[in-house]
Structure 1
Amino acid sequence: MDPTECRTKRRRKIAVADVDRISQLPDDLLILILSSLSTKEAFETSLIAKRFHNLWARVPVVNLDLDKFGPDDITLDNLEDCELQAKKFKNFGDRILNNRDKLINLDKLELTWAKWETDADPASAWLDTVAKQNLKFLYVHILSESDFQVPDSIFSCHSLEEMELNLGFDTIEPKSVDLPHLKKLTLHYIDIKYEVMQELSGLPALEEMVLFKCFLNTCDISSSTLKRLVLEGRHNDNETAITISTPRLLYLEVLSWDEGTIKLNKMESLVKACIHYYEDALFLTALSNASHLELMLSKSGVVEMKDVLKEETEFPNLKTLKIGEWCMTDQFDVVARFLFHARNLQKLTLLHRHFQLPSGHEKMEIKLELAGKVVNILNSNDKMKDADIIELVNCVSNTLSLLG
């Protein structure tokens, strides 16, 4: 091949390789790409090329994380670094939120300010700013040395559809709550006053609520729209009770509930309920319409459970039942009582949990399929004693025979 022709081809290849195809993409596509980056990374693209100048200001997603602006480990020796980190973060957050394109709605804000050694007050002003930008999704995690107040404007943001707050046991005390489009609310480590819970649970569009280790005090959760409710761990005194009235609820989950009591009103629409470690069995009648139940109670709840099952409480829709080790007494008497009241049951699972260090969490499980008077062992992980399995199968078989 002619040397001149070879050099020409090499130049063409180099020229093709030098073409900046990304910069040739339309703005909408570039903004979509920037949306997948952190806000800090999206902002830094403006320093790469003029083509990206101010494109970050049109991105509808903002995530601000203090950890991205300094050392992860703060000690007495580098508290000055911590203060510098907070200052850089404040300046960056101010610049981003004050210079966004005001014609572009902000769909989502993720804000993380999680260092006890710093003062997160600037974040309150940021939230007040975004509340005016048709915000739809808000996720806030604040841990700081001072009490943090979520501004009232957030609780009157009409565009908000989903909100998650984690405040390290600070209190939310809005003057009023007006969130007509909020569908999902998740609260972590928050002190919630009675009046606030009344307003939050009564929101007209609310479909899902998750409360994780919140101080609930005395409160009622009353909603005609709620479909999913999760309560995990409550820090409260034993003299107060929580009343739950949610007639349209489809899914209920109560986990690690150690203190206080829960009063459940009848849940006509309930499909599934998972109750773990809750000692009061008197709630059971409220769950009688469920198709799927998971009951991991303590053994102290067995007596109450038997009393409840002696009554005329029927479970006409119940198809699957998962119960824990608390039922392994009196020749599986509780299991037999359940079968009498749940004549359409198709699958029974006995789950026994215990802790064995250092291996951690072990689980012993047996699954039975009920078909007429026939009991089939679907699965056993061989951790249960053979005698227990035989006794359980005999108990179920005998009860099915009596049911005829």
Structure 2
Amino acid sequence: MDLKDISYALDSLWVIIAAILVIAMQAGFALLEAGSTRMKNSGHVAGKQILSFGLVSLVFWAFGYAITFGDGNAFMGLHGWFVSGIHGGHSGDISFSPLDNGSIFLLFQTAFAAVSLAIAWGGFAERAKLVVYVTFGIIFSIIIYPIVGHWIWGGGWLAEMGMQDFAGSTVVHLTGAIAALIGTLLLGPRIGKFNKNKTPNVIPGHNQVYTVIGGIVLWIGWFGFNAGSTVSTADGFFGYVALTTNLAAAAGALAAMIMAKILGGKADISAMVNGVLAALVAITASCAFVEAWAAVVIGAIAGGVTYWTSIYFEKKGLDDPVYAFSVHGIAGIIGTLSTGFFASGRLVEYTGVGDKGLFYGGGFHQLGVQALGVIASGVFVAAISFVVLFILKKTIGLRVTPEEEISGLDISEHGTYGYPEHLDPQFMKVD
């Protein structure tokens, strides 16, 4: 085995490990979202993560991967259905990289697509029909996510302009968040969320410990998400990406706690968790392009702003049960734009993507490219999501019945409660 073979094997192993870490984020979402919603829906909310990953694994393999990374045009890929030509190892003298191994890179990218769909489904929580999840999930995995991915990662028109989105603040998080926002708006608020005078009521999650553990699992999984996107171990750059990722998350936790204390008077635990996630979302685009100090700034801004926007949108009548749009959408915008300000000359030269940011003498060019990417991706996702969900609303309907919503989706959609001894009458009888 020569040096190239060893390097290829190490890189491939690293990408497989990173893929597993990203797949494990589904467990984080299950705990986070189940803990953040009510007991009567906990099994349903957790179980849909199994549905999400299973659905994406099949649909992205069949169609989504080809549209994202296949040869085509500036809009979408047109070749490679069912990942034709997939093989288990490298051959010839082409570049020795996991990107050349269809099976490894497919698994890695499938994990990313599944995260984006999980974010989208977060906005549907506690009142959407299960059939809506499945139908929208298929279309999201074939059309919405892959086309945005092709634009930025697959050699599409934004890639040609040099858009910087290293691991997916826009591709993964903003895409999922915009879909979640459209779903939230078309579904309408949960029963009892708003009073007649339109003031919001607090609907607390049933298990704050689950929420915290879910956040920690996601934090760990994010090292596969960001550092894994280097798809290489050769020069140790993945370690630097992991460092900026962690620094941002830490800053986001503290900034969100401080903001919660200032605005709400208490160091809200859910705010800290969401602060971590918002910071991780924000640093996802910029983790390979910014210096360590900038990662701290980006994470702190995302964590603080996300807490404020979650309150603001709720006061404006938006019932987003897990704050998907604030955490993944607003923070995704912040993260994508951040490279336009903070992209370091030395790191841009190293990665070979785009130009340096405004604060490094690059002017407004890169910021303009980043802003265009946010706007174009956001409009595209919003338009397609609205059309699909509007058609579903007018045909099969988006929401369960009021009676089913009140009884809980665990029993109405799945026939059993996540906590039967607490909710099922047969377990509450006294002999």
By percentage of residues, which structure has more helix?
A: 2
Bin of the TM-score, shorter chain as denominator length = under 0.3
Taking structure 2 as the reference length, what is the TM-score of the superposition? Answer: 0.21
Larger Rg: 1
TM-score normalised per structure 1: 0.22
Q: Pick 1 or 2: higher relative contact order, CA cutoff 8 A, min separation 6.
A: 2
